[in-house]
Amino acid sequence: MTTLTNLLDFDPAQLIAYCGELGEKPFRAKQLQRWIHQFGASDFDSMTDLAKSLRDKLKTRAEIRSPAIISDNTSTDGTRKWLVDVGNGNAVETVFIPEENRGTLCISTQAGCAVNCRFCSTGKQGFNRNLTVAEIIGQLWMAEFELRKTKGIEPGPKGERQITNVVMMGMGEPLLNFEPTATALKLMLDDNAYGLSRRRVTLSTSGVVPMMDKLSQEVPVALAVSLHASNDALRDGLVPLNKKYPLRELMAACKRYLEFAPRDFVTFEYCMLDGVNDSDEHARELVALVKDPVVGVSCKFNLIPFNPFPESGLLRSKNPRIKAFSEVLMAAGIVTTIRKTRGDDIDAACGQLAGEVQDRTRVQERMEKMAEYQQKFGANFGRIVEIPS
């Protein structure tokens, strides 16, 4: 049984090399790429301008296969969420957010996530594996042509593009799955594929410093950083990666990245947690951090009202508090937006992805056990308690 090569795994240069192995000229790779990524074709016979001999070769050796759709839900606000199967009982989510002048697709890069931020239900499931290029770009390929089908828009460059912006903000830390993510980004930007501008593709990271530097050299798209805290002690507890790459190091990396980025600012994402990181004092610390003479960085803030889930033990900041916090940042001249919560009714909001699909680390079970022990041994059982020195 021959294993078929999935052509969704190849960036433009790799597809040229593959066609070379079949004894074909580079322009064939461009034609093939247009059929795949602009027309959504998965049947080689439909690729009418390819030589019949090439089509016959491809039929026995290659395939175009994106992850299978498990479910497809549309929210009352138009947000559409697909759950796609990536094998071994794992599924990831892809979310489309329509707005008046753009359509944004939120893509996943890993099944589960190893970063384990305290406020993210995806992280609580633990990490299973990195996605392949075909599984990452396949989400865009599937969504673009599903959306067109729903609206009766023809495939190909003449049909109106449905997805104008892509954000790597779904499940997983994209920079911990660097090569497949970078390859998928190259396809998004290529004129013979999706032709998206670097300004309209955003990668969100929790701050993997060495890989931020690598990204700036290989495929510098717009950058968003999950900040969520204004000092190291607080961030260590919320984003464990901070222990490895603390705030000043992270800021310095953001500053280096901006020399190559398509936008002249970094977006800092900040999840608003009631009584944890949402005081005026925290906001003032943030101002001091981003305006620091050495590591300060040109930025804007996106404040995200937290989507509570039981295991986190955290609550969403109250609206007046979020507003007051944003006013401190804006008074310092920092552009600040408050994210509208979208798709709550279909669990498509940030940090809620694929929670019910699979709980690899049995969080639910462990949380119940912990509650039972706390009843038995007191509320501080299992907690880190500060002992005054």
Give domain 5-63's CATH architecture: Orthogonal Bundle (1.10)
Separation of alpha carbons 308 and 350, rounded Å: 10
Binding-site positions for S-adenosyl-L-methionine read 172-173, 204, 226-228, 307
- Residues of CATH 3.20.20.70 domain(s) within the chain? 68-375
The predicted structure's pLDDT at residue 123: 67
Q: Pick from 117, 165, 116: which is nearest to 271 by CA?
A: 117
Write out the residue limits of the CATH 1.10.150.530 domain(s) in the chain. 5-63
CA neighbor of 217 nearest in space, from 169, 165, 259? 259
pLDDT at 77: 83
Catalytic residue among 93, 144, 146, 269: 93
What sign does the dihedral 31-36-37-40 (CA atoms) show?
A: positive
Class of domain 68-375: alpha beta
Active site residue 350: yes
How far from 42 is each of 2, 38, 148, CA to CA, in Å? Answer: 18, 11, 16
Distance of CA 271 to the CA centre of its chain: 15
Q: How far apart are CA 279 and CA 274, in angstroms?
A: 9
- Catalytic-role residue among 106, 271, 299, 350: 350
Query: Which pLDDT does position 388 carry in this prediction?
Result: 41
Cα dihedral sign, 184-190-194-197? positive
Spatial distance between the Cα atoms of 266 and 255, rounded to a whole number of angstroms: 9
Name the binding residues for [4Fe-4S] cluster. Answer: 113, 117, 120
What CA–CA distance (Å, rounded) separates 13 from 32?
13
The pair phi, psi for residue 92, each rounded to 5°, is -125, 165
Annotated binding-site members = 113, 117, 120, 172-173, 204, 226-228, 307
What local confidence, expressed as pLDDT, does residue 198 receive? 96
Helix (H) / strand (E) element for 70: namely strand 68-74
Q: What is the pLDDT of residue 355?
A: 44
What is the model's pTM? 0.85
Q: How do the pLDDT tens digits run along the chain, 389 residues long?
A: 678 999 999 999 999 999 999 999 999 999 999 999 999 999 999 999 999 999 999 999 999 999 999 989 988 888 999 999 887 778 888 999 998 889 999 999 998 888 888 777 776 677 788 999 999 999 999 999 999 999 999 888 888 889 999 999 888 899 999 999 999 999 999 999 999 999 999 999 999 999 999 999 999 999 999 999 999 999 999 999 999 999 999 999 999 999 999 999 999 999 999 999 999 999 999 999 999 999 999 999 999 988 877 777 888 999 999 999 999 999 999 999 998 765 565 555 544 444 444 444 444 454 555 566 656 666 555 444 334 43
